């Protein structure tokens, strides 16, 4: 996995679920993780959270519950326009 970031329990649990229960390949799990990290970094930058770029330890259930559908749509739009990425 990506070793440069400080994770949080819910993310670790999800990645384990993808591997063990869903049977996703190592490369697929890395892709999921990359997308999640991009999204969380987008949210933190948008909200001007002061943190180490790779430190996600402050993310918890409350943070995740506050994510809105509009923020998800804005992230997708940002990926399509700013990063020229496919979604």
Question: What average pLDDT does range 56-72 have in this prediction?
Answer: 88
**For residues 7 and 24, which has the higher predicted lDDT (pLDDT)?**
24
User: pTM of the prediction?
Assistant: 0.75
For 41, other C-beta atoms within 10 Å of its C-beta total 17
Q: Convert the pLDDT of each residue in 9-62 to its tens digit.
A: 888 899 999 999 999 999 999 999 989 988 988 888 876 666 566 677 778 888
**Are 56 and 40 in contact, with CB atoms under 8 Å apart?**
yes
């Amino acid at each position: 996995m990506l070793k440069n970031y400080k994770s949080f329990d819910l993310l670790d649990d999800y990645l384990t679920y993808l591997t063990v229960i869903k049977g996703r390949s190592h490369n697929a799990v890395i892709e999921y993780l990359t997308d999640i990290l991009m999204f969380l970094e987008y949210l933190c930058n948008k909200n001007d959270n002061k943190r180490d770029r790779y430190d996600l330890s402050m993310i918890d259930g409350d943070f995740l519950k506050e994510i809105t559908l509009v923020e998800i749509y804005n992230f997708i739009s940002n990926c399509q326009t700013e990063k020229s990425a496919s979604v």
